[in-house]
Structure 1
């Protein structure tokens, strides 16, 4: 019955051109805005997941450090035994330090040098390859071709900014060398660029160089910026907080999770998704305000019909349910159409990503990851707002008697 009244009051030729057009605009506006909200947030969710995958390929789940302990003593520390007790964990010694790179033609730039063992570097490159194959991006990785002493891997963006090519030579200096008095030469080591490494992660490609621990940059071993630690890839990247609490029970052990080491990146991604979702949600809300206009016109133009319905036995509560049903049905048409359209587009992009961007971007594809909870929330909130708006618009009509409605049919 409600759907029949909806068609007769809002979409039939007798409804009037104004109310009929506004009704169609309401349905169309809700459809487009809800579909856009679902598609955009699904795409952003997929892009964020890809950033996380690439981050976990190059970033260990845990960085374990014991301040004041040398690399030799660290190998026998109790924390190492505790890490090795987990059969599904992979751990390797690693050292990091800030360095200054200088090319032969005099270009300078700061970087972060990561010294890894043969096994650790092979694991890192294998994971980069795995993520590249999964996302369809290339990464020049070669775990079967070991590096020699004095060779480094350079991030692709860092190499581009300094004009570095494979086979070029670099001078690596510690940052404290800039504080030496004039005329005193700082310590430095000359290295050869073995390969240009692409991880499709901006911070790594633009800042990092990789070398074999203990075989390269030995001259910089006493640099104050060098940190010794253990990198750990656990069986579950989402349980790192529990693992961190377990390892920090040992005295003097400092542990950082991959979320903490990349907190600025993931906070920026969350804020970006929140702000865009908020603006699209406001756009959908504005489109939904036209529903109030439709219900207001319906109440003002159909007072006589409402009075006739009450005179033949339709009670105030039944009239209230009828008007609310018309409003919710009108909003529901737009919500369901937009929800179905947005879900369909998201599923198509999820299984068949759209490749329209040039390869200069980290993500040349436009993927999607359908969030069913988000779709449910959008529909529930939309129906709730439709109910509240419809109930408030017709509140004066419910309290009027049939004679008042028939006598004052022209009064809004």
Structure 2
């Protein structure tokens, strides 16, 4: 439909909801920046809830008057004319997603039916919420089996499949990039251990002449490299998780709303990702110790002490 106000005209996606039950499903209606969802059903002019960006663009605030124009026209003597109904803004929401905040509006079921010219009692769909949002597809399968044709079920995963496919690809790319950074960092461990082997040549030779085996020497340098990697990984954990927590709490990195779907950089810290990153870093650090440790174990005591 079209929403017109003193600030201009804007096309919006109109949703008719039950003000009593919708807030239990749509979290945006429980955290309105101003107004209340229950005010949609009111005496006189029906109420409407709009997004923050839409309200800013049209100059709307709680108490403002606006008109909804529906393409479902009324036939008159001069032909078809669009349905026009007045509404009063009773609430403004902000989700942080530009697409929703700039083009979504809520009215009561009765008001939506009136604007769109639908019969009384008509419903185009029912929306439900689940306890575990990542298992919504399982619930959808059970609902589809229970309802049967002609009903169909769509989850938030289905409706945003393209977005999540792009995010998955970006996640794989970021993991490869991070692994390359860690790999470059592991080269410094190789350099440090090679220099250490060169500096401790005499000490290694003395230890081997006193009975230390090549396996012992190899394990010493491998252990030292792993300790360096462990300290670096723990420091990285502390800095990375601390920065991630601050970003998640204070959202001080803002994104252009007209370019991205979100107005801030989203942060999601999951245990599996943290463990995979740490394990990958330690594995690369361990591999970096193999060459220096092997070179130290191959040292011949007689050759090392010849010129001492």
State yes or no: 1:256 paired with 2:157. Answer: no
1: CA distance between counterparts of 2:53 and 2:276?
41
Secondary structure at the aligned position of 1:191 is classed as strand
For 1:282, the equivalent position in structure 2 comes to 180
State yes or no: 1:101 paired with 2:3. Answer: yes
**Map of 1:138-153 to 2, 5 A cutoff?**
139-148=33-42, 150-153=46-49
Q: Deviation at 1:113?
A: 0.7
Q: Deviation at 1:396?
A: 3.6
Query: Could you list the per-position Cα deviations for residues 273-296 of structure 1 after superposition, in whole angstroms to 9, with x for gaps in the alignment?
Result: 555555444333322321111112
**Map of 1:40-79 to 2, 5 A cutoff?**
none
For 1:245, the equivalent position in structure 2 comes to 141
State yes or no: 1:231 paired with 2:130. Answer: no
For 1:115, the equivalent position in structure 2 comes to 16
Q: Deviation at 1:309?
A: 2.1
Q: Deviation at 1:365?
A: 9.7
State yes or no: 1:154 paired with 2:56. Answer: no
For 1:168, the equivalent position in structure 2 comes to 65
Return the TM-score normalized by structure 1: 0.58
Q: Deviation at 1:270?
A: 4.8
Q: Deviation at 1:377?
A: 3.2
For 1:401, the equivalent position in structure 2 comes to 300
2: CA distance between counterparts of 1:122 and 1:303?
72
Q: Deviation at 1:331?
A: 2.3
For 2:287, the equivalent position in structure 1 comes to 388
2: CA distance between counterparts of 1:382 and 1:357?
27
Q: Deviation at 1:112?
A: 0.7
For 1:21, the equivalent position in structure 2 comes to none
State whether residues 115 and 213 of structure 1, in contact with CA within 8 Å, keep that contact through their aligned partners in structure 2.
yes
State whether residues 70 and 115 of structure 2, in contact with CA within 8 Å, keep that contact through their aligned partners in structure 1.
no
**Map of 1:316-331 to 2, 5 A cutoff?**
316-331=214-229
1: CA distance between counterparts of 2:274 and 2:129?
34
**Map of 1:269-308 to 2, 5 A cutoff?**
270=168, 275-276=173-174, 278-308=176-206
2: CA distance between counterparts of 1:293 and 1:123?
59
State whether residues 129 and 141 of structure 1, in contact with CA within 8 Å, keep that contact through their aligned partners in structure 2.
no
For 1:7, the equivalent position in structure 2 comes to none
For 2:82, the equivalent position in structure 1 comes to 187
Q: Deviation at 1:372?
A: 4.0
1: CA distance between counterparts of 2:89 and 2:226?
66
State yes or no: 1:315 paired with 2:205. Answer: no
1: CA distance between counterparts of 2:160 and 2:34?
24
Q: Aligned pairs, how many?
A: 292
Secondary structure at the aligned position of 2:12 is classed as strand
Q: Which has the higher contact order (CA 8 A, sep 6+)?
A: 1
Secondary structure at the aligned position of 1:145 is classed as helix
Secondary structure at the aligned position of 2:39 is classed as coil
Structure 1: 5+ residue runs without aligned partners? 1-98, 133-137, 178-182
1: CA distance between counterparts of 2:245 and 2:131?
32
Q: Deviation at 1:387?
A: 2.0
For 2:234, the equivalent position in structure 1 comes to 336
* Closer/same/farther in 2, CA of residues 258 and 396 from structure 1, 3 Å limit: same
Structure 2: 5+ residue runs without aligned partners? none
**Map of 1:79-90 to 2, 5 A cutoff?**
none
- CA RMSD, 1 decimal: 3.9
State yes or no: 1:205 paired with 2:101. Answer: yes
2: CA distance between counterparts of 1:371 and 1:118?
35
State whether residues 187 and 220 of structure 1, in contact with CA within 8 Å, keep that contact through their aligned partners in structure 2.
no
For 1:57, the equivalent position in structure 2 comes to none
1: CA distance between counterparts of 2:10 and 2:244?
44
Return the TM-score normalized by structure 2: 0.75
* Closer/same/farther in 2, CA of residues 217 and 119 from structure 1, 3 Å limit: same
